[in-house]
Structure 1
Amino acid sequence: MNSLWDTQRSVEDQNAQVECLVKEKLDEHMAAYFARMNSNAAQINQDHAGHQE
């Protein structure tokens, strides 16, 4: 019976690790996405400012 409990606990630990890794990767991807959006917006603003002169 103890082995079953150990297996259950191991699975729960692995699930927690996977959730943590997924969150880290999602945070990285979202940060990169917003950095690209900000860069694109800055370029558009720069282009727009250049056309107004």
Structure 2
Amino acid sequence: MDNVGADASKRQYQGHSDALMRQYQSHSDARKRRLLALSGFQPYLTNKIN
């Protein structure tokens, strides 16, 4: 029974950290895009988004 509980909490933690990573990834992507835009890479950005 203890094994099952440990597996469940491990899975929960894994999913939580995955979600955090995805959130962080999209956040840093947005920051990178903003930095690029500020650096004057606007045409490149527009092409990449479309």
Higher RCO (C-alpha under 8 Å, 6+ residues apart): 2
**Equivalent pairs: percent with the same residue?**
7
Query: What RMSD over aligned residues (CA atoms) do the two structures have, in Å?
Result: 1.1
The TM-score with structure 2 as length reference comes to 0.78
Residue ranges of structure 1 left out of the alignment (5+ in a row): 1-9
Residue ranges of structure 2 left out of the alignment (5+ in a row): 42-50
The amino acid that maps onto 1:32 is Q
Give the helix-richer structure, 1 or 2: 1
Which structure has the larger Rg? Answer: 1
Detail structure 1 runs of 4+ shifted over 3 Å in the superposition.
none
